[in-house]
Amino acid sequence: MVEIHSNRLEIRKIASDAEAKICAEIMSSSEPWITYRFTYEMALEYFMNKTFEIYVAMSSGKIVGFLVIEKEGTFTGYIKSIGVHTAWRGKGVGKHLMQYAEDKIFAVKPNVFLCVSSFNTEAKMFYEKLGYETIGELKDFLLKGYSEILMRKSISSILEFRGGKK
């Protein structure tokens, strides 16, 4: 557990449909999902997907954030989404969720990938502060007129990687 402003933060796998509903509410009520018209129902379906690794950040028994990662697929080690409840933003929850994701991914892969919406400048700056670099732009990827910025953080080349150690 991690201390955040005198509250304990626990990150663990999502445990129930009720928790998925809370995550769906956090997602559907914040950017970039509002701009992309991602409804609560769409978000709930997303959190019911059993192929994703879904984690929740808990403080005092309440979900304050979520993390969704994919360790398989086109970009292995991909942070699919991260969200923090509005009341908990700026308190270190997002940073701890990112560290948790990196620890899990870097244990088995040398790269962490993520996409950030072109209009989500605050999030892009957040990722840059954590050491992520822009490696590409996916124009009109989710919605015409908007781009997704592909970012990466790396600890090694793929051929030199040996389970989290160079």
Q: Is residue 160 part of a domain?
A: no
Q: Is residue 53 part of a domain?
A: yes
Strand, coil or helix: 122: helix
Q: What is the mean pLDDT of the chain?
A: 91
Q: Is residue 162 part of a domain?
A: no
pLDDT digits (tens, 9 = 90+) for 148-164: 999 999 999 988 987 65
Q: Is residue 142 part of a domain?
A: yes
In which domain, by residue range, is 145 found?
2-154
For position 56, which CATH number holds?
Answer: 3.40.630.30
Domain total of the chain? 1
CB 65 within 8 A of CB 82: yes
Instruction: Indicate the pLDDT class of residue 39, thresholds 50, 70 and 90.
Output: very high
- Residue 164 contacts by C-beta under 8 Å, 6 or more apart in sequence? 106, 107, 108, 155
> Taking 50 as the threshold, does the pLDDT of residue 9 lie above it?
yes
Strand, coil or helix: 123: helix
Q: Is residue 159 part of a domain?
A: no
Strand, coil or helix: 15: coil
Q: Is residue 48 part of a domain?
A: yes
Q: Is residue 166 part of a domain?
A: no
Q: Can you give the length of the chain in residues?
A: 166
Instruction: Indicate the pLDDT class of residue 3, thresholds 50, 70 and 90.
Output: very low
pLDDT digits (tens, 9 = 90+) for 60-115: 999 999 999 986 666 678 999 999 999 999 999 999 999 999 999 999 889 999 99
Q: Is residue 163 part of a domain?
A: no
